């Protein structure tokens, strides 16, 4: 089981509107938090893991043409992943591919 967290940087976004016009949207540094839980099959070297992550960044500005305004709102990203991990036995106890 693990519970990761930390700061999250979100790249600025370009949005296209009205047939070719673009706007740039900037964001502040946000946070990310997640969790993972797993299960190991005894003596087989096979592990299963499920993971969920949540990220949130506040939107701070938007610009189109030559006008930049203070913007509000947030960008939220939720993601999930499932993993199957196989540990191979080797002659070296320090190294497992």
How many structural domains are present in the chain?
Answer: 1
Residue 45 lies in a domain: yes
- pLDDT tens digits, 22-69: 888 888 899 999 999 999 998 888 999 999 999 999 988 888 877 777
Residue 69 lies in a domain: yes
Residue 20 lies in a domain: yes
Better-predicted residue by pLDDT, 96 or 74: 74
Residue 94 lies in a domain: no
Residue 13 lies in a domain: yes
Residue 63 lies in a domain: yes
Name the residue range of residue 41's domain. Answer: 5-86
Residue 96 lies in a domain: no
Residue 72 lies in a domain: yes
Closest CA relative to residue 27, chosen from 71, 63, 60, 62:
60
Cα–Cα–Cα angle for 55, 69, 72, nearest 5°?
35
Instruction: For 4-31, give one letter per residue: b (16+ CB within 10 A) or e.
Output: eeeebebeeeeeeeeeeeebebbbeebe
Q: What is the pTM assigned to this prediction?
A: 0.68
């Amino acid at each position: 089981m693990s519970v990761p967290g930390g700061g999250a940087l979100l790249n600025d976004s370009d949005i296209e509107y009205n047939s070719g016009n673009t706007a740039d949207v900037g964001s502040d540094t946000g946070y990310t938090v997640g969790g993972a839980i797993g299960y190991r099959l005894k003596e087989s070297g096979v592990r299963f893991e499920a993971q969920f992550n949540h990220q949130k960044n506040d939107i701070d500005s938007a610009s189109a043409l030559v006008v930049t305004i203070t913007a509000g709102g947030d960008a939220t990203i939720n993601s999930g992943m499932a993993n199957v991990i196989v540990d191979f036995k080797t002659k070296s106890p320090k190294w497992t591919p």
